[in-house]
Structure 1
Amino acid sequence: MIGKILNGRYHIIRQLGKGGFGETYLAEDQWLDRDNRCVVKRLKPDVINAVTLRLFETEAQVLTKLGSHDQIPQLLAHFQQDQEFYLVQEFIDGHDLTQEIRTNYQWSETEVIKLLEEILAILEFVHQQNPPVIHRDIKPANIMRRRKDGKIMLIDFGGVKRVKTEGGGSTLLTPVVGTQGYTPDEQWKNKAQLCSDIYAVGIMAIEALTGLQPRQHLRDSKTGQLLWRDRAEVD
């Protein structure tokens, strides 16, 4: 992929990441003169048919709506080439929170509250879409600190899916995704809800407060809840 030009304009510079949804690359939009950096995501579905095409278009529409928020990357383009699907998104100059939420480094309660307020304000926008959507993979690696103003950005919406409400409950319509440690039990059972994202945010807060990764905490044998309060100084 490196050096390839996609859709006659997006020059692939280097790979940024790889996951269950495909690969992510830093690219340059050759049609632009100024800062022309962008992020290209290559998706490789197992089967390409009318349903696949419809789902891809639907997801692009969802990402377009979400990108209207200042703290979510904008979707710049989407296209199909050589039996593969591509999303082109705004490049965010900054670093992800794995550089801030680190093992053996504890945040203060005040710092964590500030982070929570900012993350939850973005999630409120995501969850209030019509129909609502769930991010499903909130973790430090998917939250960036924008260099120009220090604001956080919620990224990597590869797992975001729309939900439909039936009888007051939200039912997920797509395959299971998530990251071990941050994903709640109901999501692994393909029953993710809006509150599943809130759980992941809570796990991030505990990680910042204690300086321990989720897998390093013991769990209550009866409730399954993390045992962490003796590792942090909180109200």
Structure 2
Amino acid sequence: MTERAIDDMTSFVNQYNLEILSKMGEGGFGCVYKARDITNEQEYAVKQIKLPIDKQNINCRQLDQFVAEMDCLKNLDSKYVVQYISATIGHENYYYIIMELCSDSLTKILEHKPQVFHRKPKELMNSIEFYISCHIFKELLECVQYLHELDPPVIHRDLKPDNILVALNVRNGRYFKLGDFGLATVHDRNIHSMTNNKHTGDVGDTGYQAPEVVFNEKYDHRVDIYSLSKIGEKIFGLNFNDKLTNNEVIRKRVVKLQDLLQSMSYYNWDHPHKPGPHWKDRPDCSQVLSEYNLWSIHKSYIESDLMDNFISSA
């Protein structure tokens, strides 16, 4: 961190009565710190983000948009999203976001999941891991469904494992929350879906971004559905249909899952000249969730599967 960045951070933490405890992460956007409110001992995550342009050149519209979006996010007080406490622009071309502290990200979960279930590379996913994977994906669908059913809807636009966080305090069996709303936008159905007006062309991780966003085309909330399909592929593993064909019960669920993930990533490169599914044909989260029993297994099946394996190995 440069001396100017340190000075700006010092001014910020003094203003908000915060104490920086440790650095949690660093990237091209800036840094994330673990901080504590010295008045009540509450711990938070603080993002220090470098503005891409000189503060003096930020026009009123850009500044108003930043403030409006931060106000919108602060009002998303829900179990489905990381709570944003406050946001402010500093003195040295930085802005700061104070938010709920989370314990980890889906990226870390996916890195350690095979080891936790003692699954070696190219080994089959057992019924316990498959059950938990289904539950994880279900939680993510519910989180995104919450955003899309707001009035007006909110589009995240940068869904990826790094931005899906694990709650520090698990409540009602829910573990995951959506975070990092740096590219989120409020969606006006009348403007963005029916005219030539577009959302801003900023994009996140292109590995999870819908093609219509990458190519700066007109789009709506279904860009998040595309991202979910790619996250789903990571949760269940690439070519996961081949990995699970030895288990008839799970195989049927996987076939359904594969069809759903494919439909969630529809994009017709030659539309409207070539007939076929278009991105507007992607299912909403509610539709995918309504078919949960078709692509998941009940926990009672795990007990039966474990018993069968025990008997066969005896």
Work out whether the TM-score is over 0.5: yes
* One-letter amino acid matched to 1:185: P
SS at match of 2:182: helix
TM-score normalised by structure 1 residue count: 0.78
Q: Which moved more, 1:191-200 or 1:15-24?
A: 15-24
Quickly say closer, same or farther: Cα 1:136–1:182, change in 2 above 3 A: same
Of structures 1 and 2, the larger Rg is shown by 2
Is 1:4 matched up with 2:10? yes
- One of 175, 182, 189 as aligned partner of 1:158: 182
Identity %, equivalent residues: 26
Is 1:16 matched up with 2:24? yes
* One-letter amino acid matched to 1:163: H
Offset, 1:58: 0.8
- One of 118, 121, 131 as aligned partner of 2:152: 131
8 Å contact kept, 1:187–1:193: no
* One-letter amino acid matched to 1:175: G
In structure 1, the residue matched to 2:62 is 52
TM-score normalised by structure 2 residue count: 0.60
Q: Compare the two structures and name the one with the higher helix fraction.
A: 2
Quickly say closer, same or farther: Cα 1:85–1:198, change in 2 above 3 A: same
8 Å contact kept, 1:126–1:134: yes
Offset, 1:65: 2.2
Is 1:208 matched up with 2:235? yes
- One of 215, 226, 233 as aligned partner of 1:189: 215
- One of 33, 38, 47 as aligned partner of 1:25: 33
- Which whole-Å deviations, capped at 9, do the CAs of 1:69-121 have from their partners, x for residues lacking one? 123122212222214322211212x2111122138485744323212221111
Quickly say closer, same or farther: Cα 1:182–1:87, change in 2 above 3 A: same
* Unmatched segments (≥5 aa) in structure 2: 115-120, 246-253, 256-314
Offset, 1:132: 1.6
8 Å contact kept, 1:5–1:11: no
Offset, 1:162: 1.6
* One-letter amino acid matched to 1:117: K
Alpha-carbon distance in structure 2 between the residues aligned to 1:137 and 1:85? 19
Alpha-carbon distance in structure 2 between the residues aligned to 1:56 and 1:167? 20
Offset, 1:35: 2.6
The alignment's C-alpha RMSD in Å is 2.8
Is 1:89 matched up with 2:96? no
* One-letter amino acid matched to 1:57: V
* Unmatched segments (≥5 aa) in structure 1: 213-226
Q: Compare the two structures and name the one with the higher strand fraction.
A: 1
* One-letter amino acid matched to 2:176: I
Q: Which moved more, 1:54-63 or 1:101-110?
A: 101-110
Alpha-carbon distance in structure 2 between the residues aligned to 1:59 and 1:142? 17
